[in-house]
Each structure stands twice: as C-alpha cells, then as structure tokens.
Amino acid sequence: MHRNIVFQQDNARAHTARYTQQFLEQSNVQVPPCPALLADLNPIEQLWDYLQRRLDCQDHRPQNAHDLEHSLQKHSNAIPRHFLQTLVSSMGR
C-alpha cells in the first residue's frame, strides 16, 4: 500500500539512534535530509516544550501520574491565547 507521507524529524538524539535508523531503513521510510538539531517545525512540539518549561518551574514537581495530570491540566488551561494563535498561524495552509 502506497502512502504519500513525509517523515519529519529534527535530528534529535532519539531520531538518530542506530536502532531508529535501522528501523526506518528496513521499513523503506525515506527521510529527507535535515540540518542537525533543526528548530522544531511541528507546533505541537513547541506546545509540549512550553508545558514542560511550566512544569519545570513549579515549586513541587509531580510525584505520580495523578499529580502530573493535574499539573498539565492547570498549565494547559493557562496557555495564553496569543501563544496558541501564533502556533496556529505558523502552520500555514
């Protein structure tokens, strides 16, 4: 089955690991060349980075899955609207 899919990656360590490269090659996945550690092109990656930075700034780090879920919900609800609009507009059409 042929799919018109472009595999996008940013050369992060996990993407360039030998196992990952072997898997992609064995799966016949074509990976376009990419500069080393390219800035995140995917807006969802930028959103996760934003949330991670908020979690890192907390006085008390989450101790379990429930705490993490609560913290993520709290920080997700506080994301500035203009930040989300910027991410959406960066996607183009």
Averaged pLDDT, groups of 10, the chain, 93 residues long: 64 73 83 60 82 90 92 94 88 64
User: What pLDDT is attached to residue 23?
Assistant: 86
Q: What is the distance, to the nearest Å, from the Cα of residue 79 to the centroid of all Cα atoms in its chain?
A: 16
Whether the model pTM is above 0.75: no
Q: How far apart are CA 21 and CA 29, in angstroms?
A: 10
Helix axes 65-77, 43-56, angle to 10 degrees: 110
Q: How far apart are CA 38 and CA 10, in angstroms?
A: 5
Q: How far apart are CA 69 and CA 75, in angstroms?
A: 10
User: What pLDDT is attached to residue 22?
Assistant: 87
User: What pLDDT is attached to residue 81?
Assistant: 94
- Read off the tokens for 69: 């879920």
User: What pLDDT is attached to residue 46?
Assistant: 85
- Read off the tokens for 65: 């899955």
